[in-house]
């Protein structure tokens, strides 16, 4: 703590500053002042914690000095050290806020003990003040948290309480606006936490932002993020001042963040709207992975992508899974997700829906592949996807699901007969005009021998089996997808619609449109 000695007698002020070992007791002594006037000029800049002053000096007295100091800096400890042992002086000094009254005949240890007592009083007041501020801040944050979480508009009493608790956030119509920012910390799944305590990082980041923001700012931890409530004014051109400040805090604390700003508001009654739009913007973190921040205005006009996978995309997925190559699968998923990110209409909810249907399509493919070789596969029943994980780490989720399907497919086809392998091949290529000779070649068999063996094992000749397989797939597509009937026909290898309709009715007793319309259950893909 800093000590200032004020005395117009050079011997006294020099002796007090040099004879006593201030440093050993945790004090640093400023250059002594020769008068109260000099002290008052220096105090605002040097900010001493403890002042030792004489009473009678040329010009202002020590009592006058104490009065001025206590008016401007009431936390300063004032100690009189005088040559006059008169009760009236001591009484007057105490009225002006002087904490102790010593005589110049006091021993050095008595003077240092007076300073130590003053230091203890200062530290106690600071601890009490800090505790009070901490408690007040906790109460204020609790109020703010309730206000943000409330779905109802705040009444006039709540608005008044808001400004009383946070006067620095008060906005003037047309001059200021409030913004809600949600700041999340990015984590590398392979790196782990690196020993960092999240709460410490939240606090450090929030406090640093508060220091850097030149206007009203308040922060609180919001789930796994930092919520910043900021009063803004006109921003400079180019990168906004707030975005610059967030970047600076990131660099100083050596952390990677994604910041999302909600819709600016000019009325505190719209605070929930600002929060909701900030959270909506924050949900774009994966889609905008190359960016460090996003504003609600940047994404508010997006319409979303289709939530159903096409038959072509499902065929592409089947090719990845049949390849039984993790590299092919990973590359395919990476290209798929890169394509989604490039779509400027993509929204998190539509992407989630699309990826979910792709996962369902993978399970259906494996189910059909199992049935085609006389085996069974039960798709997960009631297993719920972690939609948050799918939104934040889609590559990880897709890899997990599709690698599992790929392994299950490999187990299904292991040890099967040539005819079973042929059957699986037929089911995978129903959209192509596969001849018996082509299929026989795939399983490395003579076509005549293969034809006999195929009928013996399946109970049907090749043409009957393929036609039945095509019709069964067409039935499934009509029930499970919104594809047009012409698209279904092409998917199972028929370009002539009249021929397809006639063949389908012969097989099912209904036309394709009647079959779809009269189905008791039309599974939705959600």
The verdict on residue 156 lying in a domain is no
- The CATH number covering residue 176 comes to 3.30.70.270
Query: Do residues 402 and 451 both lie within one domain?
Result: yes
Which pLDDT score, from 0 to 100, does residue 379 have?
A: 72
Q: What is the DSSP string of 89-132?
A: HHHHHHHTT--EEEETTS-HHHHHHHHHHHHHHHHHHHHHHHHH
The token pair at 159 is: 């608005």
- The CATH number covering residue 393 comes to 1.10.10.60
CA neighbor of 49 nearest in space, from 24, 71, 20, 69: 69
Interacting residues of 448 by C-beta distance below 8 A, sequence separation 6+: none
The verdict on residue 55 lying in a domain is yes
CA neighbor of 256 nearest in space, from 247, 243, 266: 247
Query: Do residues 85 and 200 both lie within one domain?
Result: no
Query: Do residues 416 and 363 both lie within one domain?
Result: yes
Query: Do residues 325 and 460 both lie within one domain?
Result: yes
Report d(CA 355, CA 100) in Å as an integer. Answer: 76
Q: Does the global pTM surpass 0.85?
A: no
Which residues in the chain show pLDDT less than 50? 189-197, 236-238, 521-526
The verdict on residue 188 lying in a domain is yes
Among 250, 267, 299, residue at a domain's last position: 299
Query: Do residues 346 and 473 both lie within one domain?
Result: yes
CA neighbor of 293 nearest in space, from 336, 252, 245: 245
Q: What CA–CA distances, in Å, run from 372 to 122, 197, 312, 480?
A: 84, 53, 20, 18
Cβ proximity of 393 and 286 under 8 Å = yes
Report d(CA 79, CA 443) in Å as an integer. Answer: 103
- The CATH number covering residue 109 comes to 3.40.50.2300
> What are 77's strand-pairing partners?
50
The verdict on residue 160 lying in a domain is no
The verdict on residue 148 lying in a domain is no
Query: Do residues 394 and 490 both lie within one domain?
Result: yes
Query: Do residues 290 and 349 both lie within one domain?
Result: no
The verdict on residue 195 lying in a domain is yes
Report d(CA 356, CA 99) in Å as an integer. Answer: 73
Report d(CA 183, CA 221) in Å as an integer. Answer: 10
The token pair at 151 is: 């779905």
Task: Give the side-chain half-sphere CA count within 13 A for 153.
Answer: 6
Query: Do residues 263 and 347 both lie within one domain?
Result: no
Query: Do residues 237 and 106 both lie within one domain?
Result: no
The token pair at 87 is: 């009760």
Q: Which domain holds residue 58?
A: 2-124
Q: What CA–CA distances, in Å, run from 56 to 29, 61, 63, 103, 317?
A: 22, 5, 9, 13, 94
Q: How many CB atoms lie within 10 A of CB 105?
A: 9
Query: Pairing mode, if any, of strands 225-232 and 177-185?
Result: antiparallel
Query: Do residues 107 and 181 both lie within one domain?
Result: no
Which pLDDT score, from 0 to 100, does residue 238 have?
A: 42
CA 77 to chain centre: 47
Among 235, 266, 299, residue at a domain's last position: 299
Query: Do residues 78 and 113 both lie within one domain?
Result: yes
In angstroms, how far is the first alpha carbon of the chain from the final one? Answer: 67
Alpha helices in 213-262 (DSSP H): 241-253
Cβ proximity of 356 and 526 under 8 Å = yes
The verdict on residue 147 lying in a domain is no
> What are 230's strand-pairing partners?
179, 217
Query: How many domains in the chain?
Result: 3
What is the 3 state secondary structure string of 332-363? HHHHHHHHHHHCCCCCHHHHHHHHHHHHHHHH
Query: Do residues 339 and 486 both lie within one domain?
Result: yes
Q: What CA–CA distances, in Å, run from 36 to 15, 32, 177?
A: 18, 11, 47
The verdict on residue 318 lying in a domain is yes
Among 299, 323, 356, residue at a domain's last position: 299
């Amino acid at each position: 703590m800093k000590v200032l000695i004020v005395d117009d007698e050079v011997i006294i002020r020099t002796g007090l500053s040099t004879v006593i070992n201030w440093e050993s007791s945790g004090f640093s002594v400023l250059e002594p002042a020769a008068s109260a006037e000099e002290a008052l000029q220096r105090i605002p800049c040097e900010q001493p914690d403890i002042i030792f002053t004489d009473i009678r000096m040329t010009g202002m007295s020590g009592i006058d000095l104490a009065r001025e100091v206590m008016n401007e800096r009431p936390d300063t400890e004032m100690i009189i050290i005088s040559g006059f042992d008169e009760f009236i002086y001591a009484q007057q000094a105490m009225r002006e806020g002087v904490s102790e009254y010593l005589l110049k005949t006091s021993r050095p240890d008595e003077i240092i003990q007076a300073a130590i007592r003053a230091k203890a009083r200062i530290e106690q007041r600071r601890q009490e003040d800090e505790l009070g501020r901490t408690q007040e801040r906790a109460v204020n944050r609790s109020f703010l948290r309730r206000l943000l979480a409330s779905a109802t508009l705040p009444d006039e009493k709540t608005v008044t309480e808001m400004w009383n608790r946070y006067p620095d956030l008060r906005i003037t119509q047309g001059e200021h606006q409030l913004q809600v920012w949600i700041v999340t910390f990015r984590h590398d799944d392979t790196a782990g936490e690196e020993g960092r305590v999240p709460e410490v990082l939240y606090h450090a980041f929030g406090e640093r932002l508060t220091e850097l923001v030149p206007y009203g700012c308040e922060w609180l931890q919001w789930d796994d993020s930092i919520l910043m409530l900021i009063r803004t004014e006109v921003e400079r051109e180019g990168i906004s001042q707030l975005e610059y400040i967030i970047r600076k805090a990131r660099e100083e604390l050596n952390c990677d963040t994604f910041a999302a700003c909600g819709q600016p508001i000019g009325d505190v009654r719209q605070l929930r709207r600002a929060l909701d739009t900030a959270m909506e913007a924050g949900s774009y973190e994966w889609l905008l992975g190359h960016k460090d921040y996003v504003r609600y205005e940047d994404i508010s006009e997006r319409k979303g992508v289709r939530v159903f996978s096409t038959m072509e995309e499902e065929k592409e997925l089947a090719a990845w899974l049949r390849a039984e190559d993790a590299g092919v699968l990973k590359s395919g998923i990476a290209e798929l997700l890169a394509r989604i990110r490039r779509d400027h209409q993509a929204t998190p909810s539509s992407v989630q829906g699309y990826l979910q249907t792709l996962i369902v399509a993978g399970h259906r493919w494996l189910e059909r592949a199992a049935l085609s070789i006389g085996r069974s596969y039960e798709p997960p029943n009631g297993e719920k996807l972690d939609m948050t994980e799918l939104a934040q780490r889609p590559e990880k989720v897709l890899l997990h699901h599709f690698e599992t399907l790929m392994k299950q497919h490999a187990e299904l086809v292991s040890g099967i007969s040539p005819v079973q392998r042929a059957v699986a091949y037929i089911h995978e290529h129903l959209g192509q005009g596969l001849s018996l000779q082509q299929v026989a070649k795939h399983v490395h068999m003579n076509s005549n021998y293969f034809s006999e063996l195929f009928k013996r094992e399946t109970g049907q000749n090749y043409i009957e089996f393929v036609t039945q397989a095509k019709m069964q797939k067409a039935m499934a597509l009509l029930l499970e997808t919104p594809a047009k009937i012409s698209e279904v026909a092409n998917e199972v290898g028929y370009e002539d619609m009249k021929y397809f309709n006639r063949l389908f009715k012969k097989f099912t007793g209904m036309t394709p449109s009647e079959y779809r319309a009269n189905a008791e259950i039309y599974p939705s893909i959600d």
